[in-house]
Amino acid sequence: MQRLKDKITSEGRVISDGVLKVDSFLNHQIDPALTFDMGKEFASYFKNKNVTKVLTLESSGIPPALTTAMELKVPMVFAKKQKPMTMKGDVWVERVYSFTKQIENEIHIGKSFLSPNDRVLIIDDFLAHGEAALGLASIVKQAGAVVVGIGIVIEKAFQEGGGKLRDAGFDVLSLARIKSLTNHTVEFIEE
C-alpha cells in the first residue's frame, strides 16, 4: 500500500533493536483517512472469504480493525489485556508472550462474542514474532470458529512472525512489509 509506505518513510522513526516508531499515525495519534484506506485494502483482499467477524487486540489494532469491519459490514471484537470485572466466568483466555516487552500477557475474549459459525478475520497493527496473532487464532479455534485470514498493517519481515503464520497455513496480507531497519533506514520488500 503505497500511501502507507510513504507515511512510514516520512514519519516513521527507527529506534534501537529493530523497533519502528509510528506514533504520529498508528500507535498514539491516528490518521483517520489513512486508517479508512487500510480498511478498504483489507476488505477488498478478503472480500470473498465470507468474513462474519473482525478480531483484534487492544489497543492499536482497534482503528484498522474497525475500518475493515465497517467496510465488510460485520462486527469488530477486540480482545482485552485485562480481564474486566464485569466479565464473569465465560471468557476465553490465552497467554501471549511479548518479545518486545519480555513479559507474558493474558488476552481475554467474552465467549458470547465468538461462535462456531464465525469466520474470523484477524487484524493487527504490527507483526513481529507473531505471538499476538497466534494467541488470537488459538482462541478462535477453541471457540470452534475458523480464521479465514490475517491482516497486518506493518510486518517486520526480518523477524519470524510472518513465516510462522504462513507456515501454519494462514492467508496473511501485510500492507507494508519491512525488509530491514538497519542504519536507521526503513527498507521495504517491494511486491
Q: Is 184 annotated as a binding residue?
A: no
Residue among 59 and 117 whose Cβ is closer to ligand G4P: 59
# residues near ligand G4P by CB under 6 A = 23
CA distance 91 to 49: 27
Q: How many separate helices (H) and strands (E) can be counted in the chain?
A: 5, 10
Q: For the chain, how big is the Rg over CA atoms in Å?
A: 16
Residue among 21 and 141 whose Cβ is closer to ligand G4P: 21
Identify residues 17-46 at the interface with ligand G4P (CB under 6 A): 19-22, 27
CA distance 65 to 115: 19
Contact 66, 40 (CB under 8 A): no
Nearest-10 crossing angle of helices 32-45, 2-11? 140
C-alpha cell at 59: 489497543
Identify residues 44-83 at the interface with ligand G4P (CB under 6 A): 57, 59-61
- In whole angstroms, how close is the CB of 22 to Na ion at the nearest point? 9
Identify residues 112-131 at the interface with ligand G4P (CB under 6 A): 125-131
Identify residues 105-134 at the interface with Na ion (CB under 5 A): 125
27 CB neighbour count, 10 Å cutoff: 15
* Contact residues for ligand G4P, defined by CB under 6 A: 19-22, 27, 57, 59-61, 98-101, 125-132, 156, 161
Binding residues for 5-phospho-alpha-D-ribose 1-diphosphate: 128-132
Binding residues for xanthine: 20, 27, 156
